[in-house]
Amino acid sequence: MTLPSGHVLRLAGPANALAFHGVMMAAGMDPRSSWSRTRPEDVAWSLGQGGGFLAWEGERAVGCVGWRPDGPETLTLNKLATLPDMRGQGIGTALVRAVEEVAAQDGYLRVLLAVSQYNLEAVPFYERLGYRVDAGATYAHANPASPPPLVLVKAVGA
C-alpha cells in the first residue's frame, strides 16, 4: 500500500526482524519500556506469532508495527515505532489503520494496545485514532518487572 506521503507499507514477517528491530531501536523509546529491550530474535519470534508491517522510504525502513492474536475477539497491536525524522507524515496512523484492517478482515472485534508508563505522551495519538482507555482490560504480554501499562482498546468488528 502506498501512502499519500509516498511511503510504502509492506507486510513484515520473521525474515524482516532486523529491519523491524532497527526501526524500533532508532525510534528512541525509553529503555525502561519492556519492549525496547527486545532482541532481533525476539522480534522474529513475535512476528511469527502474528505479523507486522514495515513502512518504507525507498530501501530504508522508517516505521513498524506488529500484531498478534489474544483470544478469539482481540488482536493486540504492538511495537509501533516511526523514525524521529519521519514523524508527522501520517506513517504511524497508516500503520495503526493497517492493523485495524487486518483485525476486521480476520473477524476480531477489537484491537488492544498497551502504552508503557514511560511513554504516556503517546496516549493522545491513540485517542485521536479512536482508542479509549479500558481500566478493566489486561495486557497479556506485560513485563512483570515494568510498571503496569495503560491499556487502550478500539472496536473494529461487528
* 84 Cα distance to chain centroid: 16
Residue 143 lies in a domain: yes
Instruction: Domain of residue 49: give its range.
Output: 8-155
pTM of the entire predicted model: 0.92
User: Is 47 a residue whose pLDDT tops 80?
Assistant: yes
User: Is 33 a residue whose pLDDT tops 70?
Assistant: no
Residue 88 lies in a domain: yes
When divided into structural domains, the chain yields a total of: 1
CATH number for 65: 3.40.630.30
Residue 134 lies in a domain: yes
- pLDDT tens-place string over residues 4-13: 678 899 999 9
- Residue 20 phi, psi (nearest 5): -60, -50
List the grid coordinates of 62: 522508517
Task: Give residue 36's pLDDT band: very low, low, confident or very high (50, 70, 90).
Answer: low
Which of 28-37, 42-51, 133-142 shows the lowest per-residue confidence on average (mean pLDDT)?
28-37
- pLDDT tens-place string over residues 116-137: 888 899 999 999 999 999 988 8
Instruction: Give the separation between CA 114 and CA 150, rounded to whole angstroms.
Output: 5
Residue 25 lies in a domain: yes
Residue 93 lies in a domain: yes
Closest CA to 89 of 5, 2, 23: 5
Residue 2 lies in a domain: no
Mean pLDDT of 91-119: 95
Residue 1 lies in a domain: no
